[in-house]
Structure formats: structure tokens, C-alpha cells
Amino acid sequence: MNTSILVAVIVYEVLLIGGIALWLTTRQKGHENDEAEFELGGRNLPLVVIVPTLALTVLGTAHILGIFEMSWFMGATTMWFGLANAMALAVVCVGTGIWARRMGMTTVPEMLEQLYGEKVRIAVSCVMAGAIFGILTLETQGLGIILASMTGWSIQNGAILGGVLGVLYVIVAGIREVGWINLFNAILMYVSLILATYYIAQGLPNGNFSSVVDYYTSNDAAHMLTIFGPAEIMLTFALGTVIAVVFSVPASQLILQVAMSAKDEKTVRNSLWWAVPLNGLFGVFIIVLGLTAKSLPEFHALGPKLAAPTMLIQMLPPWLAVMLTASFLAAVLSTFAMTCLGPATIFSYDIYRRIYRPDADELHTAKVTRISIIVLAAVSVAVAASLPPILAAIPWLLSWLIPVLWLMAAGFLWRASKASAALTLAASWLVNMLWTFTDLPLWMGLKSVPNAYIVLGVTMAVGVVSCLLLKGEQGYFRKARTSFGVQEGLG
């Protein structure tokens, strides 16, 4: 089934990954022992690499398979999932990413140690690595499903092939490799999406989307054609997604590792103008294709999961189907690669080097990171097929990171209190567990309230009150400004 498309897609990925890995290996000879070369590209990556990597790191399975499926039920309001990620990127480019680059650290827990001490670093390392690993299993499932749908293989076999490609995406030259591959894939992605949308429109009656609009208006579903859908969906899905994503993703190692790799703060700040639209507009094409598939009887019968992918394979010319599938696969592979690299870096820097081998040099640490990537990928491939569809687990996973963002914001800009940090983490993580695994929401009559709302509420309440009441120091940047002012005054 679709063997020629599959072969062409895999040949493209292997040639691109292999070519860039080879180019970088020759170029980087002699730089292997530079500071954090593998994990952070020597903190010297240019704008052309940072932009697509920021955009593609938070663009994965959920953006493709998730939006195809969700738009079937909610229509264009699903766009808020993509916009929430674009908002999170904006927070990175004007806030957390700048702080991360300025601190000159390698991991988020390492930054937190500067503010709150070693215990907070270790606690956040373990929880953040676990949460990102959860996202990794979702990406692995996505890879398995995409390849399985093309080949007729089992999801397990698809996940194995996807896992191998995903590891190749990062294992040779680390984040520098991911970045350069992403640059080519981002170009391919937009070219193929624009062409696919054009070709699908040409294949419809009248050569445009008017028949799709007629379908939804005649079925009393015109609200599905606007991103500002019914108030109920806006308040539950749209606002819930925005809160869950915007208050967690900007604190994640996954995305901040990219910002830490930028050659300077200006590069992170300037990425805003390109990375935000690049990421945010992707959803428009996916939603339009999803809505079109639902309106066509022959694909409508296949249901929300299969309608759009089948329509694309059947209605597009083979060369374009190859390009589009390759770009979808690349989007998931780039996220897979970063979700492996993030927790692997946390392990090698915050656990291995911090606790067991403080004397380990860059080459040795990079070796540990590489081994961790392979172990993480192997475990995620092993469990991906046996897990239930875990899209629903994403808000729960992201909620673990909400108090981490608060600790960063408070510690940098306001007050850094070790006791308050410990209390805020403990309270918000406990509530996240209770809200998921007990009947607490039912007892409180708040069954439909998502984790993100509750965790954000507890984080803010406990964080603000304890920060005001407990002993602490002035925020990192406030302190730096004050001492700079004092020095200037003395001078």
C-alpha cells in the first residue's frame, strides 16, 4: 500500500539527515570539546537555524493528527491550539528564552539552582524529564501512526522505523544537526502545504472551497468556519488550551534549550517575527484540509482519523503527496528529536554531571547525552504501541511545568524564596495528581474544570502568598540592576 510514496519519503529523510550530518561532522572537526557543543551548538546558532527550530519543536503530532481529528468536531476553533503554541513562542522570545540565554546555563533546572538551590534543581530535573518523556511517547505514537497508515504495517513497526529516523535526526551533531535539518524541512513544509491546499481546491467543484462552505452552512454548522466559534467552545477548549500551553511550554527544557543555543539574546528576540507566524499559521492549512475532507461524502465515511490523510493521498498528484508526507513526518521527527535531546541533557547535566561526575569533560558529557537519547528513544518505541491514545494526557503533562514557569518569573523579576519555591512546587504537583487520580473534582462540583486551571490557580495563590510571607532574596535581575546602579553610582 503506497509503497512508492513510503520509499520516496524515507529516501528523502535519510538523504537530508545523512547529508547534513556528514557536512556538520566535517565542519565541526576540532570543536567537539567546545562548551556544550552537542547540546547547545556551542551557543552560537544563527537566526536561520533558531527560527525553524523554535517553530518546529512545538509543532508535532498534535498539530497534524490532533488538529485533523479535532477540527472534525469543533471546526476552525481548533486553530486556538496552534495559536496557543504561537503565544508560548512569543513568551519565549520576549521573556524566558532571553533569561535562559542571558544566564549562560545548559538546562532549566541548572538555572533554578542559581535562584533556589540544589534541591529544587533535582526535583525539577526529575519532574521535567518525566513530563517531556510523556510528550515523547505521544510523538512516537504519532510517528507509528503516520508510517503505519502509509504502509499498512502495525503501529509498533511504524514506531520502530520512526524512532530510528528520529534518533538519526539528532545523534550525530546534536542540536546543530536538528537546527539545520529543520531549516530545510520548514521550507519544504510550507511549500508543500500551500501547493496541497491549492491542488485540493482545484479538485473541488468550482475549483475553490465554495462547495465546502455550502456543506457547512446547509448543515447548520457555519460556526465551524470561523476561529471565533461558539462561546462555550471558546471558554472551554480555546481558553483551556491557551492557559495550559502558555503557562507551561515557555518553562520547558525542550524549547529553552533552543533559546540557550542562540548566538546572542538579539537572535532570540528577533526570532519572534519569524518563528511565531511560521508556527501559528501551520494550523490554518491543516484545518482547511480537515474541514474539506469532512465535507466530501467519499472521505466523510472514513471518520475523523482517516478522512483527511486518505483525501490527501488520493486527491494529490504523487509527487506532492510525497512532499507533504515527508514534511508531516519531518515535523513529528523534529519534535521527537528535541523531546529526546531535552530530557537527555537534563540527565547528563543535572543528574550525572551534577551528582556523580562533576569532573566530566564536554566529550564525556556529550557521550552520556547520546546514550541517554538512544535509551529514551528505545523505551518510548517499546511502550508507544501498548499505550492508549494519550493526546488527553497532554494537559496533565503540561500542568507539571506551570509552577516551574512561576518560579522562573518570580525568581528573576520579583523575589527568590527557597521555602516558597518548595511549597509552591509541592502544592501544585500534589493538586495535579489529586485532580487526575481521585474524585476530588467530583466532590468539589468542578468535574469539567481542566487541570491547567486548577494548577495555575494553586501555583499563583501559594506562590504569591508564600513569597510575600517567607524569607527570600530580591529577584535575580532586580538584584543585578541594583548592584549595577550602585557600581555606577560609586564610579
Partner 1 sequence: MFWNILGEAVLVIVVLLVVSSLAIKIQNGKKLQ
The reply to whether 90 sits near partner 1 by the rule CB under 8 A is yes
Nearer to partner 1 among residue 227 and residue 360 (C-beta): 227
Instruction: Please name the residue that has the C-alpha cell 526570532.
Output: 271
For 414, the 3-state DSSP assignment is coil
Burial of 444: CB neighbours in 10 Å, binned 0-12, 13-18, 19+: exposed
Alpha-carbon distances, residue 175 vs 41, 344, 345, 460 (angstroms): 6, 12, 11, 34
- DSSP 3-state helix, strand, coil percentages of the chain (rounded to 5)? 80, 0, 15
The reply to whether 191 sits near partner 1 by the rule CB under 8 A is no
Nearer to partner 1 among residue 82 and residue 134 (C-beta): 82
Q: Among 336, 346, 397, which Cα is nearest to 158's?
A: 336
* Stretch of 82-90, 131-139, 325-333, 380-388 lying at the interface with partner 1 (CB under 8 A): 82-90
Q: Residue 403 and residue 393: Cα distance in Å, rounded?
A: 18
The reply to whether 76 sits near partner 1 by the rule CB under 8 A is yes
Nearer to partner 1 among residue 215 and residue 349 (C-beta): 215
Q: How far is the CB of 368 from partner 1 (least distance, A)?
A: 36
* Candidate residues 161, 288, 397, 398; the one interacting with partner 1 per rule CB under 8 A: 288
Nearer to partner 1 among residue 150 and residue 293 (C-beta): 293
Q: Residue 316 and residue 198: Cα distance in Å, rounded?
A: 10
Nearer to partner 1 among residue 174 and residue 280 (C-beta): 280
Q: How many CA atoms lie within 13 A of 287 on its CB side?
A: 22
Q: Residue 21 and residue 68: Cα distance in Å, rounded?
A: 33
The reply to whether 225 sits near partner 1 by the rule CB under 8 A is yes
- The alpha helices in 152-224, defined as continuous H runs, are 155-171, 174-202, 210-218
The reply to whether 470 sits near partner 1 by the rule CB under 8 A is no
Number of residues engaging partner 1 in binding (CB under 8 A): 32
Burial of 359: CB neighbours in 10 Å, binned 0-12, 13-18, 19+: exposed
* Stretch of 85-93, 305-313, 416-424, 445-453 lying at the interface with partner 1 (CB under 8 A): 85-93
* Candidate residues 23, 73, 273, 319; the one interacting with partner 1 per rule CB under 8 A: 273
**Residues 28/30/33/35 CA torsion (nearest 10 deg):** -60
* Candidate residues 18, 19, 152, 277; the one interacting with partner 1 per rule CB under 8 A: 277
* Stretch of 92-100, 119-127, 130-138, 147-155 lying at the interface with partner 1 (CB under 8 A): 92-100
* Candidate residues 227, 234, 379, 433; the one interacting with partner 1 per rule CB under 8 A: 227
Alpha-carbon distances, residue 235 vs 70, 105, 143, 328 (angstroms): 16, 38, 31, 30
The reply to whether 383 sits near partner 1 by the rule CB under 8 A is no
* Candidate residues 212, 245, 351, 416; the one interacting with partner 1 per rule CB under 8 A: 212
Site residues (vs partner 1, CB under 8 A): 76, 79, 82-83, 86-87, 90, 93-95, 98, 197, 201, 209, 212-213, 225-228, 269, 272-273, 276-277, 280-281, 283-284, 287-288, 291
